[in-house]
Amino acid sequence: MFLLCSVNNMDWGMKNRLSQLVQNDGKALFLPIDHGYFQGPTRKLEKPGKTAEPLLPYADALMLTRGVLRSAIDPSITKPVILRVSGGSTILGDDLSNEGIITSVKDAVRLNASAVSLSIFVSAKYEHQSLMSLSRLVDECEEYGIPVMAVTAVGKELEMREARFLALCSRVAAELGAKIVKTYYCKENFEKVVNGCPVPVVIAGGPKAESELEVFEWIYDALEKGAIGVNLGRNIWQHDHPVAMIKAVRGVIHENLKPNEAQQVFDQEKNR
Ligand code: R5P
C-alpha cells in the first residue's frame, strides 16, 4: 500500500480524498483535460466534455479547471475531480511561468474537488512566485483536508526532462507539502526521481508520441521504478483511438500488463 505511514498521520478527510484518487492497488490513472487554461482550444480538446465522456469510465480521476468543469462536465459523474487552481499566463504571453492562484480553495470545496493541482516552475523566471503559491495553497488546503498535486512544469524546454532536474523539482514540491507530484518520465535514471521524492509520483506524457507502444513502455518502466501511475492527457485523447488507448494504459497500470500485452489490448480494442 502506498506510503502507509504518512497516510496514517492524516486526518480522515485527507485520507478519504486520497483514497478516491489512488486505488486499492496503490496505483492511479488521472486523465487531465486542463490544457486549454494556457493553450486555448487544444487539438481534440475543442469540446472537452465530449472528449472526456467516453474515457471517464476508465480513468480514476479527471483533472481540469473550474470553467470546463462547470460548463462541460455532467455534475452526476462519480469520478473524483482534481481541480487545476494555478494559471494566469498563456502561450502568447511573455512568460508561461508567471502563474498565480486562479481559483480559491472555497470554490474547490464548493465543486467537491478531491484534490487541487498547481504548476511549479523550477529554474524559470517566476520560480519563487510559483513555489510560494504552492506553499500558501498547501497551508490553506490542509485546513480543509484537500490534497495538493504539484505539477512540475518544464515549459517549452522539453530537453529539461532529465533525472537530475526532475528529481530536484519533485523533491522541492514534496518538501513544500504536495501530497502527490506530477512529473515527466525520463529514460535514464528515472528511479532517482522517485527515490528522492517522499510522496507518490505520477508521470505526464507531454506531446503525442510516435507510437502507442512507446507510451506503454514509458509507463511500464516508470511503474517498475516506483511511480504510482500517470496523469496522461494528449497521448490518450489526441490519439485516433482514445478509448483503446486508455484501456491499454489502464491495463499497464492496474493489471500489470507488459508493453507488448498492452499493445495487444490496444489492437483488439481499436477494431471494435
Ligand atoms: C499541462 O499543462 C497540464 O497540466 C497537463 O495536465 C499535463 O501536462 C499532462 O498532460 P499531457 O500528458 O498531455 O502532458
Distances, alpha carbon 128 to alpha carbons 2, 100, 115, 167, in Å: 30, 11, 23, 18
> Does residue 223 form part of some domain?
no
Burial class (CB in 10 A: 0-12, 13-18, 19+), 1: exposed
CATH number of the domain at 93, please.
Answer: 3.20.20.70
pLDDT in tens, 65-77: 999 999 999 999 9
Give the integer Cα–Cα distance in Å for 34 and 184.
17
- Tell me which residues have their CB closer than 6 angstroms to ligand 1: 32, 34-35, 63, 151, 204-206, 231-235
Q: Whole-prediction pTM value? A: 0.95
Query: What type of residue is 244?
Result: A
Please give the tally of structural domains in the chain: 1
Domain that holds residue 132: 4-204
Closest Cα to atom 10 of ligand 1: 233
Burial class (CB in 10 A: 0-12, 13-18, 19+), 30: buried
- pLDDT greater than 80 at residue 48: yes
- pLDDT greater than 60 at residue 4: no
- For residue 152 the three cell numbers come to 512540475
Which is it for strands 180-184 and 201-204: parallel, antiparallel or unpaired? parallel
What pairs with residue 184 in β-bridges? 204
Closest Cα to atom 14 of ligand 1: 206
Listed in order, strand segments (DSSP E) in 88-166 are: 100-101, 115-120, 148-152
> Does residue 112 form part of some domain?
yes
> Does residue 77 form part of some domain?
yes
> Does residue 156 form part of some domain?
yes
How many whole angstroms from 141 Cα to the centroid of ligand 1?
A: 22
Q: Which residues of 125-143 are buried (b: 16+ CB within 10 A; e: fewer)?
A: ebeebbbebbeebbebbbe
Is 182 known to be catalytic? yes
Cβ atoms 87, 123 nearer than 8 A: no
Q: Which one, of 212, 222, 190, 233, lies nearest residue 82 by Cα?
A: 233
**Orientation angle between helical segments 242-254 and 259-270, nearest 10 degrees:** 150
What pairs with residue 181 in β-bridges? 150, 201
- pLDDT greater than 70 at residue 125: yes
Counting ligand 1 atoms within 8 A of each CB, the residue from 85, 117, 151 with the most, and so the one to mutate, is 151
- For residue 240 the three cell numbers come to 485516433
From 156, 182, 192, 247, the catalytic residue: 182
> Does residue 40 form part of some domain?
yes
> Does residue 250 form part of some domain?
no
> Does residue 121 form part of some domain?
yes
pLDDT in tens, 192-243: 999 999 999 999 987 778 899 999 999 999 999 999 999 999 999 999 999 9
Query: What type of residue is 96?
Result: L
> Does residue 97 form part of some domain?
yes
Closest Cα to atom 6 of ligand 1: 32
The confidence score (pLDDT) of residue 87 equals 97
